[in-house]
Structure 1
Amino acid sequence: MATNTTAGTDERTGRRALAAAAVTVLLWASAFVSIRSAVHSYSPGALALGRILAGALTLGVILLVRREGLPPRAAWPGIAVSGVLWFGVYMVALNWGEQEVDAGTAAMVVNIGPLLIALLGGWLLKEGFPRRLLLGMAVAFTGAAIVGISTSEHMGSSVLGVALCVVAAASWAAAVVAQKPALRHASALQVTTFGCVIGAVTCLPFAGQLASQVTTAPLAATLNLLYLGVFPTALAFTTWAYALARTTAGAMGATTYIVPALVVLMAWVALGEVPGPLTFAGGALCLVGVAISRRRKRALAPDAT
């Protein structure tokens, strides 16, 4: 009976983690559509700071309402590292990189991030290198690369732009590996809130740009900035942390390969950008790869006798 109860609890926890991951990838995919509006009116640093400030304010209010307070001391190293790298370096580098290279090239380069997460998680977090995970990630990365190639505008990729996208991918991977241990000591809300606050402090040098640009930016661009802060940042990063606490870093990284497929569909619906056959094929490969990486071996049923 105890075994059945434990199995049932684990199954419910797994379903909740999967639902949280689904919310994350859906909102992160929507971020690409919003960034296209905001990036024409805000510089990379100002966009990052505005987004993070909106996210930190939203999370701070929720934290106060829930009365969770400060995280334990043991969680702070991971929160600090992930805050600087993910909420600070990653967002600025990605925004800047996407101004230097076309969107397809940026997507291809940044999508090395999940591969780095799996490698660093296997090495530093002792998660190992499951064959199914690596196979699924290889398939999904191929799909992401195809989507990137098919949507590339062939504008010519600057060395600076590619380097910035590599910095973004590496910062993302290192931040996830640092965040995972912090979640053993603090809640997903605490880790995300204070990581966001640290990221905002990291981006304070761009405060002057933000103050200047917010007065001249169109309302639509500012609304998209606020949307990025409340939903793809505050909500999605919290659901990410919730799911990460309940699975491996490698598996969570692999799940993000759903994002390119969702971006293709959202751009089709919201922006009228009709994807070609190659883009559809790449998106399908992303989904197949994630399915492979997330599939678990079925355990043998216990003997009823």
Structure 2
Amino acid sequence: MTHVTASYEVPKAIPSWKAAVTGDFGLIVVPGAIWGASFLFIAQGLHAVGPHGVAFFRILAGFLALLAFPAARKSIDRAAWPRIAVLAVLWMAVPLTLFPYAEQRISSAMAGMLNGAVPLFATAVAAIIAQRLPSRTILTGLAVGMTGVVLVALPNLQGGGASADGVLLVLAAVTLYAISINVARPLQMEYGALPVLLRALGLAAVLTAPLGIPEVLDGHWTLAPVLSLLTLGVFGTGIAYVLGTMAAGKLGAAKASASIFITAPVALMLGVVVLGESVALLSVVGAAACIAGAMIIRRADSAR
């Protein structure tokens, strides 16, 4: 694997905080922390608007944030637009609506821990698309991780009702993410991540507008939900993608993907400390198993 370092070297004249963010450690930790905090911001946003309003607000804010980057405005061939439209639906509009619906039924910590299964689901979808059985090491990682998913979900599934529905909504969103990642990979390799993400977010904003705009206009707005949704959109749906792209270019995709290991612990910590949510010990053990399974898979990918 080739690691590009020279073009990403941080000049000494720039502020120290920027050097920390764009350093190797920052490029892994910062996106993971932002995505982990996203579940707290969704919970806060739901105090003002419904799920469709949360989805539309964050997608539009993310689109406007990426629009500020010249690299995101690079032209794309018309032939790529059908696949970008698929991403707009499966990667943006639908899952970003499912998560707020889920958080009306389960805690933000639970949603964040279940989201840690994205690498596992993506690996499984890739194997199905390739119609080829993964290596023994990857199968081991999948087995460990999927066991973790069951353990995370089990306390909520046992209760049935709204809690079980919330778990199923998150798992549906994670499945769509897994499909989308495999659709996005060739597009990103050809055109770069930012132009693809910008256009997918723009289409997703149009798709979520009919149900989202009325909720936004009728929302019970206070300062906390406004700031939460702005942060969720600009950082969680915009800037974090930029940092993730920089990490992939500088560190390689396998090492950059370690940011997902930060997401679940951050979501758990913020849900418990800030929102006072209670989480079953079995779910915490399951989240650790999800991370362990994803780490096994990523190490196998790196070695390959």
TM-score by length of 1: 0.75
For 1:55 and 1:180, the matched residues in 2 are separated by 20
Counterpart pick for 2:231 among 190, 210, 227: 227
For 1:277 and 1:121, the matched residues in 2 are separated by 32
- Alignment match, 2:241: 237
- Alignment match, 1:60: 67
Structure 2: runs of 5 or more not aligned? 7-22
Counterpart pick for 1:49 among 56, 62, 70: 56
Note if 1:290 corresponds to 2:297: no
Q: For residue 146 of structure 1, what is the amino acid of its counterpart?
A: L
For 2:82 and 2:265, the matched residues in 1 are separated by 34
Q: Select between 233-242 and 158-167 the one with higher mean Cα deviation.
A: 158-167
- Alignment match, 2:43: 36
Q: For residue 121 of structure 1, what is the amino acid of its counterpart?
A: A
Counterpart pick for 1:94 among 96, 99, 108: 99
Counterpart pick for 2:77 among 72, 85, 93: 72
- What displacement does 1:74 show? 4.5
- Alignment match, 1:302: none
Note if 1:181 corresponds to 2:199: no
For 2:162 and 2:72, the matched residues in 1 are separated by 48
* Cα separation, partners in 2 of 1:261 and 1:147, compared to 1, 3 Å: farther
Counterpart pick for 2:216 among 192, 210, 213: 210
* Cα separation, partners in 2 of 1:178 and 1:106, compared to 1, 3 Å: same
Q: For residue 293 of structure 2, what is the amino acid of its counterpart?
A: G
* Cα separation, partners in 2 of 1:184 and 1:74, compared to 1, 3 Å: farther
* Cα separation, partners in 2 of 1:179 and 1:69, compared to 1, 3 Å: same
Higher relative contact order (CA 8 A, sep 6+): 2
- Alignment match, 1:194: 199
Q: What is the SS of the residue equivalent to 2:161? A: coil
For 2:92 and 2:57, the matched residues in 1 are separated by 11
* Cα separation, partners in 2 of 1:156 and 1:286, compared to 1, 3 Å: same
For 1:212 and 1:54, the matched residues in 2 are separated by 18
Q: What is the SS of the residue equivalent to 2:190? A: coil
Conserved? CA contact 2:122–2:182, under 8 Å: yes
For 1:297 and 1:170, the matched residues in 2 are separated by 20
For 2:28 and 2:59, the matched residues in 1 are separated by 20
Q: For residue 118 of structure 1, what is the amino acid of its counterpart?
A: T
- Alignment match, 1:262: 266
Q: For residue 177 of structure 1, what is the amino acid of its counterpart?
A: N
Counterpart pick for 2:177 among 172, 177, 195: 172
Q: What is the SS of the residue equivalent to 2:221? A: coil
1:128-162 residue CA offsets vs partner (Å, 9 max, x unmatched): 62332332233234334434456889473377655
* Cα separation, partners in 2 of 1:146 and 1:259, compared to 1, 3 Å: farther
- What displacement does 1:287 show? 3.6
For 1:267 and 1:103, the matched residues in 2 are separated by 6
- Alignment match, 1:4: none
Counterpart pick for 1:131 among 127, 130, 136: 136
Count of matched residue pairs: 284
Conserved? CA contact 2:31–2:240, under 8 Å: yes
Q: What is the SS of the residue equivalent to 2:191? A: coil
1:233-260 residue CA offsets vs partner (Å, 9 max, x unmatched): 1022344456678547xx95x9635532
Q: For residue 55 of structure 2, what is the amino acid of its counterpart?
A: A
- What displacement does 1:31 show? 0.5
Conserved? CA contact 2:187–2:196, under 8 Å: yes
Q: Select between 116-125 and 264-273 the one with higher mean Cα deviation.
A: 264-273
Residue identity over aligned pairs, in percent, reads 29
- What displacement does 1:70 show? 2.1
- What displacement does 1:167 show? 3.4
* Cα separation, partners in 2 of 1:11 and 1:136, compared to 1, 3 Å: farther
- What displacement does 1:170 show? 2.9
TM-score by length of 2: 0.75
For 2:113 and 2:76, the matched residues in 1 are separated by 36
